[in-house]
Amino acid sequence: MNDTIVACSTPQGKGAIAVVRMSGMRAGEILAGVLDIKIGDPRKSPRKLCRRWLVDENKNKLDEVLVVFFPAPNTYTGEEMVEIHCHGGEGIVEVVMEEMLKAGARPAKKGEFTRRSFESGKMDLSKAEGVLRLINAATKDEVKGAAKLLSGEFGALLKTLRKDMMVGLARLEAAIDFPDDVDEVEQGTQGIGSMLDKAQKIEKSIRKDSQLEHDIVLAGRPNVGKSSLMNALAERKISIVTREPGTTRDAIHTMILLNGLRINIVDTAGLMLRELSSEAERESELVAKEKIKDASVLLWVMDFSEGDFEKQKSMLPLPVQPTMYIVNKVDLARSDQVEHVHSIQDEGKMMFVSAKTGQGLEKLKMKISDTLIEEYGPASGIPVSMRQKDMICRVKESLEQAGQRMRAKQIELAAEDLKAAITETNCILGESLEAEDILDVIFSEFCIGK
């Protein structure tokens, strides 16, 4: 924390401008040492863009730059900070960095600027992780969700819940110490119920997945129309479609956006469901089964013309949750079969579509979207990490157990459950971390310069 760090905060490559940022107790001093400041020291005009020449140790001009000096403590990191806006050539950026390093700065590590912000109390850990989520957001809904972390909305919900738990714990402790004066059983049970409601609302508001894309895997027997269905969902030709079975041998991927969700559609080889003699067929089935096992949602595709849909459903070799059963080629249905098709679909057992005509595709897309939201949370939900998700689950479980203890009049044990829930909440906020290694893991996911 005593070092002054420097990094380029814009992507590598050639561009109009690049931004080099520096933070630390010597940031202003180092800046003044690498500039021609005959017309004024930028430190005397804080938070204002100043045009100056970057110079080397012999005062040779290197680049005309815009610089801004931010005095501590009202900065992103809480320390003195500097930004240099130079021209965006790779050589120029290298020269700027070289001069700063020679003047006494050192290269920043991944996420070190944001980590300093966290460690100086400028943001709690949930907001710090929101920075990373916002950088990685690729859709408007993902931006909205990340903003709930960065703005402190998520942290505020947790702090409100924690305050309620601490008040509840104090009352339970009083009931334990002064059982003749304080009767907390009935009120305590109601209070824990209210806390549990808040914890459940927080859980429902989050995106409960660590991945940014969802794998929607198309699987089924050969020639049921998986590749045609993939092309129809993607609205462009991705997979080869022929009447010959076994055209798809490998897993084919394409990404689409669906109601703000990033969806990776995966077309797999048809499963023969018999002993295979060809090495290529065996390998393609192994790949298909691996994709089925890892699917966020599995679409088990069946052929309308083969009939006996229950038998086709039973051919799914691996149980996957959630699975949607899709009957393709419904355009082949005769007029006397249409009513039966509608009755089965209304019961929610299967979805009938036609990749050829587009029938039922919009309903299928909506069903995929609804299934993902139910399973993982809304696209604009708060995008928590696996660490945060697990801790939220443990908070909820501790509160559920505390409620059971209160109903059994086990006040001492209920108090211990509340303490455990408070500890987990503190860990989400980064206020009670037992190991430095946790912070190292979190901030190692950031890019250098942030």
Full pLDDT tens readout for the chain, 450 residues: 789 999 999 988 888 999 999 999 999 999 999 999 888 999 999 999 999 999 998 899 999 999 999 999 999 999 999 999 999 999 999 999 999 999 999 999 999 999 999 999 898 888 888 888 888 887 888 888 888 888 888 889 999 999 999 888 888 888 887 766 556 666 667 788 899 999 998 888 887 654 557 889 998 888 888 889 999 998 888 877 666 665 666 788 888 888 778 888 998 888 876 666 677 777 888 888 888 888 888 999 998 888 888 888 888 877 778 888 999 988 887 776 766 666 676 556 688 899 999 988 999 999 988 888 887 777 778 888 777 888 899 999 999 999 999 888 888 999 999 999 999 998 888 776 554 555 676 677 677 777
Residue 141 CB neighbours (<10 A): 20
What pLDDT does residue 275 have? 66
Tell me if 420 sits within 8 A of 393, measured CB to CB: no
Residue 259 CB neighbours (<10 A): 17
Give the integer Cα–Cα distance in Å for 286 and 293. 11
Compute the CA torsion angle 60, 61, 63, 65 (nearest 10 deg): 120
What pLDDT does residue 32 have? 93
What pLDDT does residue 180 have? 65
Handedness of CA 36, 38, 44, 49 (dihedral sign): negative
What values do phi and psi take at 261, rounded to 5? -100, 140
The 3-state secondary structure of the chain reads CCCCEEEECCCCCCEEEEEEEEECCCHHHHHHHCEECCCCCHHHCCCCCEEEEEECCCCCEEEEEEEEEECCCCCCCCCCEEEEEEEECHHHHHHHHHHHHHCCCEECCECHHHHHHHHCCCCCHHHHHHHHHHHHCCCHHHHHHHHHHHCCHHHHHHHHHHHHHHHHHHHHHHHHHCCCCCCCHHHHHHHHHHHHHHHHHHHHCEECCCCCEEEEEEEECCCCCHHHHHHHHHCCCCCCCCCCCCCCCCCEEEEEEECCEEEEEEECCCCCCCCCCCHHHHHHHHHHHHHHHCCCEEEEEEEHHHCCHHHHHCCCCCCCCCEEEEEECHHHCCHHHHHHHHHHHHCCCCEECCCCCCCCHHHHHHHHHHHHHHHHCCCCCEECCHHHHHHHHHHHHHHHHHHHHHHCCCHHHHHHHHHHHHHHHHHHHCCCCCCHHHHHHHHHCCCECC
Q: Which of 166, 162, 158, 161 is nearest to 129 (CA)?
A: 158
Task: Tell me the pLDDT tens digit for each residue of 20-71.
Answer: 999 999 999 999 999 998 889 999 999 999 999 999 988 999 999 999 999 9
What is the side-by-side order of every strand in the sheet holding 261-267?
252-258, 261-267, 213-220, 297-303, 323-328, 351-352
* Both tokens assigned to 120: 């100086």
* Both tokens assigned to 216: 């929607």
Handedness of CA 147, 149, 153, 157 (dihedral sign): positive
**How far is the CA of 72 from the CAs of 390, 398, 438, in angstroms?**
36, 41, 27
